[in-house]
């Protein structure tokens, strides 16, 4: 029934001369997602929209789902192609479309027309009026409502003619590849996968780093992070995941520093290491799942203490989100069920009963001096021994 799709853009980022970059990136992502389903599709850019033409049979649900994950698309409409646009066959084809699409034909409608073939004998308003009266004549249960119809019937007259009436919501945002790359600190929790998804939604590619602490954290805990990376990469595209062995550093901090400062100092080392990998990978910033006040390490003072060691910008897309709002996104993108699996995380193992909630930077810095002897070598070792996993869900 459908042979094509019409995609509308969500938002054009940097306008003017750069518009084509946005459009090309969008076409490329649409192609990439469609390559993963059965069928063969031609993706072309046309007058501020994207037109996808199927070259063989395909599954409608799969195609809509695949394109529904492309950032930068605001809506997806399956379209029927009408080869012969001569008036009588056009009206008949549009009537057949209505007949096939709607078993119950007792709704109100309005015909909308776009005509790029300016040589066509009918203007757009004429197509609307004439098509409307043809449909009323053929289907007595229909009525016209020009203000708030139940159904819009879109007719486009170009080289060929096209008809559509269904509009599926797209993922919104900006196409991947229009805004560089960032390094996501990905844990096995609920928040960081959502943060990665959200930053990618603004057109940013992501790589990720996970701090693993064997034997305190199990292989299963690491697998959970790999699973989460796979799930978000269905939206974000390929992710290079760096798994850093953090055990020695964590133990060393535990031995040398006051326990109530452990989390903050640990987080400062996570940031330093992540930043090093980020710079090596050409990332323009770090991304975390932090949100003000959620836990002791996310008070304004704690965030400031963590931020103190970062030279790259740190993006925190969830900073003002409530937990429930984060959970809602996690459910929508399919990471929630994985995130709530009960595997230990390296932060929870050594946490003090009463962590500082208002760390004082000078105090934290002084505590870190106690690590001077070995920490440099440990960080180098952690960087050198990291495992790299290529993710492409």
Residues interacting with Mg ion, by CB under 5 A? 187, 189
Nearer to ligand ATP, 175 or 196 (CB): 196
Nearer to Mg ion, 101 or 187 (CB): 187
Q: Which does 233 bind (CB under 5 to 8 A by kind): Mg ion, ligand ATP, none?
A: none
Nearer to Mg ion, 187 or 335 (CB): 187
- Of the listed pieces 37-45, 49-57, 116-124, 284-292, which binds ligand ATP according to CB under 6 A? 284-292
Q: Which does 297 bind (CB under 5 to 8 A by kind): Mg ion, ligand ATP, none?
A: ligand ATP
Contacts to ligand ATP from residues 293-312, by CB under 6 A: 294-295, 297-298
Output the CA torsion 236→298→244→381 (10° steps): 140
DSSP state for residue 370 in the 8-state scheme: T
Q: How far is the CB of 177 from ligand ATP (least distance, A)?
A: 23
Among residues 250, 245, 251, 208, the alpha carbon closest in space to that of 230 is found at 208
Q: Is 335 in the site for ligand ATP (CB under 6 A)?
A: no
Q: Contacts for 371-376 with beta carbons within 8 Å, 24 or more apart?
A: 371/252, 371/253, 371/256, 371/257, 371/265, 374/252, 375/249, 375/252, 375/269
Binds ligand ATP (CB under 6 A): choice among 163, 183, 347, 371: 347
Contacts to ligand ATP from residues 168-227, by CB under 6 A: 185-187, 189-192, 209-211
Q: How far is the CB of 213 from ligand ATP (least distance, A)?
A: 8
**Cα 252 from Cα 213, distance rounded (Å):** 12
Alpha helices in the chain (DSSP H): 19-34, 60-67, 87-101, 124-138, 191-201, 219-236, 247-256, 262-280, 300-307, 323-333, 336-339, 346-349, 361-369, 375-384
Among residues 279, 317, 292, 329, the alpha carbon closest in space to that of 202 is found at 317
Binds ligand ATP (CB under 6 A): choice among 50, 346, 371, 382: 346
Residues lying near ligand ATP in the complex (CB under 6 A) are found at 185-187, 189-192, 209-211, 270, 288-290, 294-295, 297-298, 345-347
């Amino acid at each position: 029934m459908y042979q094509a799709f019409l995609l509308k853009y969500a938002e054009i980022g940097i306008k003017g001369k750069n518009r084509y970059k946005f459009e090309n990136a969008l076409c490329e992502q649409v192609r990439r997602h469609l390559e993963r389903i059965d069928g063969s599709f031609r993706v072309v850019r046309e007058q501020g929209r994207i037109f996808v033409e199927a070259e063989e049979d395909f599954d409608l649900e799969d195609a809509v789902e695949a394109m529904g994950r492309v950032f930068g698309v605001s809506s997806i409409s399956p379209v029927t192609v009408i080869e012969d646009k001569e008036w009588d066959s056009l009206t008949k084809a549009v009537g057949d479309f209505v007949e096939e699409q709607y078993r119950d034909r007792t709704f109100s409608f309005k015909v909308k027309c776009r005509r790029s073939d300016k040589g066509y004998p009918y203007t757009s308003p004429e197509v609307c009026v004439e098509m409307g009266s043809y449909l009323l004549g053929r289907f007595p249960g229909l009525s016209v409502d020009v203000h708030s119809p139940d159904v819009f019937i879109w007719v486009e007259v170009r080289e060929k003619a096209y008809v559509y009436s269904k509009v599926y919501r797209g993922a919104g945002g900006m196409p991947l590849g229009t805004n560089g790359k960032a390094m996501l600190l990905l844990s096995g929790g609920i928040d960081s996968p959502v943060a990665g998804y959200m930053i990618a939604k603004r057109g940013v590619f992501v790589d990720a780093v996970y701090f693993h602490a064997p034997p305190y954290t199990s292989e299963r805990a690491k697998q959970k992070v790999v699973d989460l990376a796979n799930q978000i990469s269905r939206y974000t595209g390929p992710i290079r995941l760096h798994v850093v062995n953090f055990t020695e550093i964590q133990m060393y901090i535990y031995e040398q520093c006051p326990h109530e400062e452990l989390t903050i100092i640990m987080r400062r080392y996570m940031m330093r290491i992540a930043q090093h990998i980020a710079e090596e990978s050409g990332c323009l910033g770090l991304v975390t799942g932090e949100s003000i006040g959620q836990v002791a390490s996310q008070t304004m003072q704690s965030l400031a203490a963590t931020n103190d060691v970062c030279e790259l910008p740190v993006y925190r897309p969830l900073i003002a989100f409530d937990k429930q709002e984060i959970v809602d996104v996690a459910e929508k993108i399919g990471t929630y069920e994985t995130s709530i699996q009960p595997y230990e995380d390296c932060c929870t193992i050594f946490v003090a009963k009463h962590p500082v909630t208002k760390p004082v930077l000078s105090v934290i810095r002084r505590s870190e001096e106690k690590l001077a002897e070995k920490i440099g070598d440990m960080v180098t070792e952690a960087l050198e021994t990291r495992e790299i996993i290529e993710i492409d869900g």
